[in-house]
Amino acid sequence: MAREQLPSIALENATLYFRNFSGTAGTYNAAGQRNFCVLLPEDVAEQLQKDGWNIRRLPENDDGTPGAPYTQIKVNFKTAPTKQPPDIQIISSRGKTRLNEDTVHILDWADIDSVDLIINPYEWSVNQNTGRKGYVKSMYVKIHENEFEAKYYDIPQAPDSTVSKIGGCGNCETCDGSGACSHQ
């Protein structure tokens, strides 16, 4: 029996929490499971909860009001229900850069200005329990650039191997990295 195609959910200017694009194992995460949580507007959270999504809330605010609602979104490059990898792109003054399974981890610590996100819902059923969870279909992440990035943008990146040549062998202050040092 074919699964019902559920409509995608689009969130503009989304806020991401608990980012684990690298899939690092932790208290609430098995190794290799890439995911993050996204804050939801109240009306969207209410509707998703009615539709079977697991909606949680951040701790209540200092003034006693309830914390913002959120849900976990999975990032799956291999076995996403759509069988297509997510289209995740970072946006900077240099243009768009598509991230893949090997590069998406940079979002764990990126300084993010804004995120536009399309989520593919997936209906699951295990041991007579059912619900819905979300997978990234596409995501555009605008990166915050500091005041020096534009200044140094045109300078090419040096290969990693040249770093050891700066200042020589690292064992003395007399060599210049030319290979003439007895420490190399």
Q: Which residues of 67-88 are buried (b: 16+ CB within 10 A; e: fewer)?
A: ebbbbbbbbbbeebbeeebbeb
Task: Give the pLDDT of residue 167.
Answer: 54
Element (DSSP H or E) covering residue 113: strand 112-126
What element of type H or E holds 44?
helix 42-50
Distance in angstroms (rounded) separating the CA atoms of residues 142 and 104:
14
What's the predicted TM-score (pTM) here?
0.78
What does the pLDDT average to over 114-119? 97
Tokens of 28: 């609430």
- In percent, the amount of the chain with pLDDT more than 70 equals 82
Q: Write the pLDDT tens digit of every residue in 125-135.
A: 888 888 889 99
pLDDT at 130: 81
Question: Where does the pLDDT of residue 171 fall: very low under 50, low under 70, confident under 90, or very high at 90 and above?
Answer: low
Confidence label for 1 from pLDDT (cuts 50, 70 and 90)? very low
Rounded mean pLDDT, 150-171: 66
Average pLDDT, the chain: 85
- Eight-class DSSP state of 162: G
Q: Which domains does the chain have, with CATH numbers?
A: 9-150 (2.40.50), 154-184 (no CATH)
**CB 49, CB 68: distance < 8 Å:** no
pLDDT at 100 over 70: yes
